[in-house]
Amino acid sequence: MAEHSDPNAPWKTLSGIGTTAITAALFLFFLQYLPTVAAGEPVRWVIPWIPSLDVHLSFWIDGLSLMFALLITGIGALVMLYAAKYLAGHPQYDRFALYLFAFMLSMLGVVLADNLIALFVFWELTTFTSYLLIGFGHADPKSRRNALQALLLTATGGLALLAGFILMGVTQGSFEMSQINAAGSLVGKEFYTLILFLVLAGAFTKSAQVPFHFWLPNAMAAPTPVSAYLHSATMVKAGVYLLARTHPALSGSDLWIWILSIFGAVTAVFASLMALRQTDLKQTLAYTTLMALGTLVMFLAGSTGYAITAAMTFLLVHSLYKAGLFLTIGVIDHATGTRDANLLGGLKKAMPITAMAAAVAGLAMAGIPPFLGFIAKEVAYSGALEMHLWLFVVPMALIAFALMFAVAGIVAYKPFYGPQGELPHAPHEGPWPMLLGPVVLGVLGLLFGLMPGIAAHYLIEPAVHAVMGAPDRGGRVKLWAGFNMALLLSLVTFALGFLIYLRHQSLRERLARIEAKSPDLDASWDRFLDWFVRFSKVQTGLIQTGVLRQYMFATFTVFAVTVLVTLVARGAGPLRVSFSGLGIMEWGIAALITAGTVLVLMTSSRITALVGLGTVGIGVALVFITYSAPDVAITQLLVELLVVVLLALALLKMPYLDKGNVQKHSFPNAVLAIAVGALTTWVLLLVVDQPFDRRLTEFFEGASWTQAFGRNIVNVILVDFRTLDTFGEIAVVLIAALGAFVLLKGMRATKEEKK
């Protein structure tokens, strides 16, 4: 595969070591908050951003955000070091390091942001960086397609999320998540159902719940470090984070309990079956990640101490062992050239450290004591037994955990023991930068299991506190909880899991047959996109005819209808028109303008029409002069002159007028023109009829000389009081000129090519 490095290439590059070092420093930075947050004191920073819209860059560190921040920076640093070696010598490695680093920062933003709008911005940034990373091997059309699929699905969910956030902020009167949660539950309030559906749409697409799951296995087109980091340990958990974060405000309703339980459970069981069916180890891990996400969503359906503790413990342990296993698979792939479960076996001798790391991670995944995974499973069963829908949740959890036990055997045991298959090249031990990650993560899983008090006190319990909105009684996370229902269920899980492992070859074939018959959502997605593109083509063909006359007609029709509807709806009063006080000059100007208009309408020559239009323009300039607005008059006159020159130049290039065509359209055009003219006149007369508000005029008359040292008010407004507006306008002038310039040059270039 092209993504593999040259083993002799230098890997200690600035981009690799630099990003790793900064991420590790951030990890240490967050580590210092552990005691404060464990004592129940959240930390908050605020930078005002758009205060008028209540949008701030506010950050909030409580138990939940801190646990995520530590996972993001800790695993991030290990993955970046790993990637430096994994992709050493890759021509675009620097770009990769940049994407990965940008992702890390965006993800930190998601979990630290307190303001909903800021959270949304970071949320979308993770989507974009994920898109870039999945599509890193951009020469391969399949990876481009998979990247686009992930982008479209998660960004659509993100838009729903934005709508949900806005409704939530308006309903609770604040856009700060901490205040929304403090304001109490939203259940039963106006818009609750809508908010719930919108937020769930965002969370479920991001965390790949069935039926939005299909993008996640496809996202494995990304290089392995990315799969380990984004699509297992961090980004896909953003949806879970969101559900946990909004838990105090949104949970507790029947709707919440049913939706989360059912979607979570179905995702978990479906994904663990699919994991068993795969032969590519990376795909197997992708589906077990899906299973973990489903399990987390399922436990967040509950509100009891055990359910939430189960979710948080499982989240922690899963991030540790799954990132470790992904990295291990990367090492195996790197060393042997294959990830096929049927080929791999007996690698223990050649790769002892990798085998150790995989074993530790696999034991945690299987939930064997004394690993933290075992505790997570125990707490999970206790939580499931407490839930409303326990009759449904407990069996689903049992099936999922048993399948996961079997999969852990396939991923972490089978490649290293038993007979060795036919490998593309002879196995060798991985280099240390690639082993450090799996070893550290595996050892952490073991240490936390042996000393569950530390993990519980500093990480799990503060997170549970944050999710529940109140401190939990604690003491739920322990290695030996006595003989109880949960232990019994664990023993059943081991037995069932072992049976499945022994028979996994035949089960895999059976699952493959079922899969072949069931509907393929991935292919449906492609069909949907094809249909959408066809629809866009038809729609574009209808609207963008390419005929200028039709565009003008549509624009003016919309204008006329809008003005008319507004005037009628607002009950516009009758017109008071008075012709008194008009001298010979005013009548003369009016006659000049009318004569110009009549000339335009009557002539059959374009040049004559242009002259007529110029006459109208000069008439308007005369009006400005009569009413003592010399600046406007001069500008009008000059613009009119330039328009005539430019149009004359353009007319030289145009074909002769087709008289028949003109006549065909003249009737509807005349009706529209008269309507627009009459309506504009009506509106203007109504405006003039209002008493004139002189406040602005008086301000500028007074301030122009005293504050801006200028006597020409128009100019002073342009260059002093409203400079930013003028700056915007001249920027538009420049862009328009450059645009036209490029367009005309481009046309010339095309013509020359044709010649």
Partner 1 sequence: MNSIIFTAGARILVALVFVFSLFMLLRGHHLPGGGFIGGLLGAVAFIIYSLASGPEETRRALRVSPEVIAILGLGIALLAGLVSFFMGDPFFTGQWYWVGGDSYETAAFSINSVLVFDIGVYLVVLGGILSLTFAFEEET
- Residue 631 interacts with partner 1 (CB under 8 A): yes or no: yes
Q: Which helix (H) or strand (E) holds 741?
A: helix 723-754
Closest C-alpha among 291, 129, 132 to residue 216: 291
> Distance between CA 16 and CA 10 in Å, rounded?
11
Q: Is 649 in the site for partner 1 (CB under 8 A)?
A: yes
Can you tell me which of 191, 597, 710, 753 binds partner 1, judged by CB under 8 A? Answer: 710
Distance of CA 38 to the CA centre of its chain: 31
Q: Are 410 and 358 in contact (CB under 8 A)?
A: no
The footprint of partner 1 on residues 423-462 (CB under 8 A) is none
CA distances (Å), origin 74, targets 21, 26, 206, 315: 11, 8, 22, 15
Q: What 3-state class would DSSP assign to 189?
A: coil
Q: Could you give the CA distance from residue 58 to residue 115 in angstroms, rounded to a whole number?
A: 6
In the complex, minimum distance from the CB of residue 634 to partner 1, in angstroms, rounded to a whole number? 5
Q: Does 395 bind partner 1 (CB under 8 A)?
A: no
User: Can residue 654 be called a binding residue for partner 1 (CB under 8 A)?
Assistant: no
Reference 274, options 289, 264, 260, 263; nearest CA is 289
Three-state SS letters, 14-36: HHHHHHHHHHHHHHHHHHCCHHH
645 versus 671: smaller Cβ distance to partner 1: 645
d(CA 616, CA 611): 9
User: Which stretch, 315-323, 393-401, 550-558, 632-640, contacts partner 1 (CB under 8 A)?
Assistant: 632-640
Does position 712 interact with partner 1 (CB under 8 A)? The reply is yes
- Name the segment binding partner 1 (CB under 8 A); options: 13-21, 75-83, 597-605, 642-650: 642-650
Q: Shortest gap between Cβ of 121 and partner 1 (angstroms)? A: 24
Taking CB under 8 A as the rule, does residue 488 contact partner 1?
Answer: no
For residue 627, the minimal CB distance to partner 1 (Å) is 14
Return the closest-CA partner of residue 127 out of 231, 263, 22: 231
According to CB under 8 A, which residues from 721 to 740 bind partner 1?
Answer: 723-724, 726-727, 730-731, 733-734, 736-738, 740
Return the number of the residue (565 or 733) whose C-beta is nearest partner 1. Answer: 733
Work out whether 653 is an interface residue with partner 1 (CB under 8 A). Answer: yes
The region of 47-55, 466-474, 542-550, 648-656 touching partner 1 under the rule CB under 8 A is 648-656
- Nearer to partner 1 (CB atom), residue 602 or residue 736: 736
**Nearer CB in complex with partner 1: 24/641:** 641
754 near partner 1, judged by CB under 8 A: no
Distance CA 520, CA 648 (A): 61
Binding span for partner 1 by CB under 8 A among 182-190, 233-241, 361-369, 714-722? 714-722
From candidates 582, 642, 671, 688, binder to partner 1 by CB under 8 A: 642
Nearest to residue 305, comparing CAs of 202, 385, 209, 403? 385
Q: Could you say whether residue 634 binds partner 1 (CB under 8 A)?
A: yes
Phi, psi of 44 (to 5 degrees): -140, 135
Among 7, 48, 184, 630, binds partner 1 (CB under 8 A): 630
Minimum Å gap between C-beta 709 and partner 1 is 5
Distance (Å) of CA 555 to CA 536, 566, 609, 676: 21, 17, 22, 11
Which CB sits closer to partner 1, 516 or 724?
Answer: 724
Q: Which one of 517, 576, 659, 751 is in contact with partner 1 (CB under 8 A)?
A: 751
* Residue 657 is a binding residue for partner 1 (CB under 8 A): no
Compute the least distance from the CB of residue 732 to partner 1, in Å: 9
3-state secondary structure of 57: strand
Q: Kindly state the DSSP code that residue 503 receives in the 8-state scheme.
A: T
Measured CA to CA, the distance from residue 6 to residue 10 in angstroms comes to: 9
Q: Among residues 659 and 751, whose Cβ is nearest to partner 1?
A: 751
Q: What is the closest distance, in whole angstroms, from the C-beta atom of residue 693 to partner 1 in the complex?
A: 25
Q: Which stretch binds partner 1 (CB under 8 A): 58-66, 267-275, 552-560, 705-713?
A: 705-713
Closest by alpha carbon to 30, among 61, 76, 75? Answer: 61
Does residue 176 sit in helix, strand or coil?
strand
- Near partner 1 by CB under 8 A: residue from 187, 564, 641, 675: 641
755 binds partner 1 (CB under 8 A): no
Q: Does 627 bind partner 1 (CB under 8 A)?
A: no
Stretch that binds partner 1, among 235-243, 382-390, 594-602, 646-654 (CB under 8 A): 646-654
Strands (DSSP E) found in 519-580: none
| In the complex, least distance from residue 264 CB atom to partner 1, rounded to whole angstroms | 51
Hey, is 46 helix, strand or coil?
strand
CB neighbours of 445 closer than 8 A, spacing ≥ 6? 317, 320, 321, 324, 360, 361, 364, 371, 372, 373
* Nearer residue to partner 1 within complex by CB, 480 or 627: 627
Question: In this structure, are residues 590 and 623 in contact, taking their beta carbons and an 8 Å threshold?
Answer: no
**Pairing between β-strand 55-61 and β-strand 43-50 as defined by DSSP bridges:** antiparallel
Residue 218 structure tokens: 């496809």
- Please identify, using beta-carbon distances, which residue of 484 and 712 lies nearer to partner 1: 712
Contact between 635 and partner 1 per CB under 8 A? yes
The nearer residue to partner 1, 472 or 640, going by C-beta atoms, is 640
Please spell the DSSP secondary structure of 95-150, one letter per residue: HHHHHHHHHHHHHHHHHHB-BHHHHHHHHHHHHHHHHHHHTTSTTSHHHHHHHHHH
Cα–Cα distance between 258 and 508 in angstroms, integer? 31
Closest approach of Cβ 613 to partner 1, in Å? 17
Q: Is 304 in the site for partner 1 (CB under 8 A)?
A: no
Q: Tokens for 439?
A: 């070893």
Is there a contact between 293 and 237 (Cβ–Cβ < 8 Å)? Answer: yes
In terms of phi and psi (left: phi > 0; alpha: psi -120 to 50; beta: otherwise), the region of 54 is left
714 binds partner 1 (CB under 8 A): yes
- Tokens matching residue 194: 């809508």
| Ramachandran angles phi, psi of 516, nearest 5° | -60, -30
**Applying CB under 8 A, does 644 fall inside the site for partner 1?**
no
Q: Which stretch binds partner 1 (CB under 8 A): 86-94, 300-308, 533-541, 704-712?
A: 704-712
At closest approach, how far in Å is the CB of 356 from partner 1? 60
Task: Tell me the closest approach of the beta carbon of residue 741 to partner 1, in angstroms.
Answer: 5
Q: Is 639 a residue that touches partner 1 (CB under 8 A)?
A: yes
CA 218, CA 192: separation in Å to the nearest integer? 34
How many residues contact partner 1, by CB under 8 A? 42
Q: Which of 405, 389, 429, 604 is nearest to 490 (CA)?
A: 405
Closer CB to partner 1, residue 290 or residue 716?
Answer: 716
* Cβ 44 to partner 1 shortest distance, Å: 29
Under the binding rule (CB under 8 A), the answer on residue 646 touching partner 1 is yes
The alpha carbon dihedral of 364, 370, 372, 377 has a sign of positive
Task: Establish if 626 lies at the interface with partner 1 (CB under 8 A).
Answer: no
| Residue 66 interacting with partner 1 (CB under 8 A) | no
Q: Which two tokens stand for residue 132?
A: 């870039």
Question: Using an 8 Å Cβ cutoff, are 221 and 214 in contact?
Answer: no
Q: How far is CA 72 from the centre of its chain?
A: 18
Residue type at position 225: P
- φ, ψ of residue 59 to 5 degrees: the values are -115, 150
Give 139 or 749: the residue with its C-beta nearer to partner 1. 749
Interface stretch with partner 1, choices 413-421, 446-454, 516-524, 743-751 (CB under 8 A): 743-751
* Binding site residues, partner 1, CB under 8 A: 630-631, 634-635, 638-639, 641-642, 645-646, 649-650, 653, 708-712, 714-716, 718-720, 723-724, 726-727, 730-731, 733-734, 736-738, 740-741, 744-745, 747-748, 751
